[in-house]
Chains A and B, each alone.
Chain A
């Protein structure tokens, strides 16, 4: 049992992060009131926070972020949705994969302000009524992870990828891109190619492929 008086690692880091952010706010960043008023001469407009509205996992969320804030940082630092992970921060590893308007994207290469009004789904939002998503269950069943750092990105990528395959999207592994692709064509070579934007340092790839294949079959 956790000791309720003992702070968890996550709560401690959140507290420390907020204190640091508050320190910066006192020093340089404009207050909320200033941010909403037109910039006065001499104010650095580049650091001015701007309002963004996102629909995150079905909930409307109003945020005030700097233009340079990525969607990934907004989710993790502003909304405390830490299931989405930051790996490379260059769009190369896929750990930060989320869905925007139903499509998988890497949230480290998207600015939060450019997602205004859009529907964002993160790993925290794929379960339904307390039931794990079929792909989450399949990851457990097939032992699709060791350290778990890439897992939420893998699952978000896999969930959207199965929808892409259902919609008839071909891939670089498809022998004939001219022909219509069907879910029955989604073999392991196809899954590996379509999931290549998600890296796993523990190299759980064979089990990830099995998990995705099972979820695709059941979908």
Chain B
């Protein structure tokens, strides 16, 4: 790694001010993504600010109303095994347990998880291949290159990368809020607005600005929380990023779907919500697989495959359908 200096933050106000005025400073929590980026020279901060000592930010707080507030410094393991998280939102626990390895889950923070950068091999490459995310304006090697793992929704000529997080897909389905403290105080960002599509600025993964610190992820109480499931399909059975994944959550009236929440991973630059499918699923019977399949298909009319990933369009619909059925069995 390149040489850098490091200091420890004990006061969020000072940490935020330091980040706002110093463009060469990066916050570090678990470090499992940042240190990898630094080893691959995809991030070269001059200064690191260790935020692990900031008070109260590792707490997991189940609320009386059925929601849960997850501190940004809570580790993936602690959230995944928390009894109330598992009972209220199985989709969150599964999203975490299907990610990374036991060691990495013990290290990685929740705030860092949703800040992860893409695993696109061209972005991670050390040899200076064109990548607009890494070197804006240099071009996208994946667009005409090997793009089996890349996006089928929402991509641009500038970038076809996907977001790697699993739990972010669950949080998107549940319409969680990202609680951010910045120079002008605290704000709550709806999860759907947190990550960006690449457009012509793929170097920007999300809407955060300098001086923004994620303090928590707030998951409101949801009728659909309990009957929920995260299904991930990948090239290996364990310890691999998703080819496609689905987070499904259902409120049921007997065997009929009262309301559905459905989001997918591995298909876009951000967790991809299937709004049209959710609307079509309302009122359907869980036992009518043909209708469920047709409802899911409504969200795939605008899918645009690349040279090597057309298989994702069929695979994603099957994964979404299966996730709905397993979630339904949990009611």
Chain B 75-112, CB-CB to A under 8 Å as 1, else 0, gives 00100110000110010011001101111101100000
Instruction: Output the nearest chain A residue to B46 by Cβ-Cβ distance.
Output: A46
Collect the chain B residues with CB atoms within 8 Å of residue A194's CB. 102
Q: How large is the interface on A (under 10, 10 to 19, 20 to 34, 35 or more residues)?
A: 35 or more
Collect the chain B residues with CB atoms within 8 Å of residue A195's CB. 102
Collect the chain B residues with CB atoms within 8 Å of residue A106's CB. 101, 103-104, 107
Report the bound CA distance from A194 to B330 in whole Å: 24
Collect the chain B residues with CB atoms within 8 Å of residue A66's CB. 3
Stretch at the interface among B29-37, B56-64, B181-189, B204-212: B29-37
A178 with B6: CB separation less than 8 A: no
> Is A144 an interface residue when CB atoms closer than 8 A count as contact?
no
B81 with A44: CB separation less than 8 A: no
A178 with B90: CB separation less than 8 A: yes
> Is A197 an interface residue when CB atoms closer than 8 A count as contact?
yes
Report the bound CA distance from A107 to B58 in whole Å: 21
Instruction: Output the nearest chain B residue to A90 by Cβ-Cβ distance.
Output: B36
B36 with A91: CB separation less than 8 A: yes
Question: Smallest distance from the beta carbon of B328 to chain A beta carbons, Å?
Answer: 15
Question: Smallest distance from the beta carbon of A181 to chain B beta carbons, Å?
Answer: 9
Residue of B2, B98, B237 with highest tally of chain A CB at under 10 A? B237
Out of B3, B81, B330, name the residue touching A47 (CB < 8 Å): B3
Instruction: Output the nearest chain B residue to A113 by Cβ-Cβ distance.
Output: B6
Question: Smallest distance from the beta carbon of A184 to chain B beta carbons, Å?
Answer: 17
A68 with B31: CB separation less than 8 A: no
Contact residues of B between 16 and 53, Cβ < 8 Å to A: 28, 31-32, 35-36, 39, 46, 48, 50, 52
B1 with A177: CB separation less than 8 A: no
Collect the chain B residues with CB atoms within 8 Å of residue A178's CB. 86-87, 90, 330
A67 with B6: CB separation less than 8 A: yes
Given contacts A105-B106, A157-B102, contact A68 B1 (CB under 8 A): yes
Instruction: Output the nearest chain B residue to A104 by Cβ-Cβ distance.
Output: B103
Stretch at the interface among A5-13, A123-131, A166-174, A206-214: A166-174
Chain A 80-115, CB-CB to B under 8 Å as 1, else 0, gives 000000000111001001000001111001110110
Collect the chain A residues with CB atoms within 8 Å of residue B330's CB. 178
A169 with B90: CB separation less than 8 A: no
Chain B 219-257, CB-CB to A under 8 Å as 1, else 0, gives 000000000000000000111000000000000000000
Given contacts A105-B103, A109-B36, A196-B101, contact A45 B5 (CB under 8 A): yes
Given contacts A46-B5, A67-B6, contact A94 B101 (CB under 8 A): yes
Collect the chain A residues with CB atoms within 8 Å of residue B4's CB. 46, 67-68
Could you pull out 9 A-B pairs where Cβ atoms are within 8 angstroms?
Answer: A91-B35, A91-B104, A105-B107, A110-B107, A167-B81, A172-B98, A178-B87, A196-B101, A196-B102
New A-B contacts (7) at CB < 8 Å, excluding given A70-B35, A94-B103, A103-B106: A66-B3, A67-B6, A104-B103, A109-B35, A169-B77, A177-B97, A197-B103
Residues of A within 8 A of B (CB): 44-48, 50, 66-68, 70, 89-91, 94, 97, 103-106, 109-111, 113-114, 157, 160-161, 164, 167-172, 174, 177-178, 192-198
Residues of B within 8 A of A (CB): 1-6, 28, 31-32, 35-36, 39, 46, 48, 50, 52, 77, 80-81, 86-87, 90, 93-94, 97-98, 100-104, 106-107, 237-239, 330
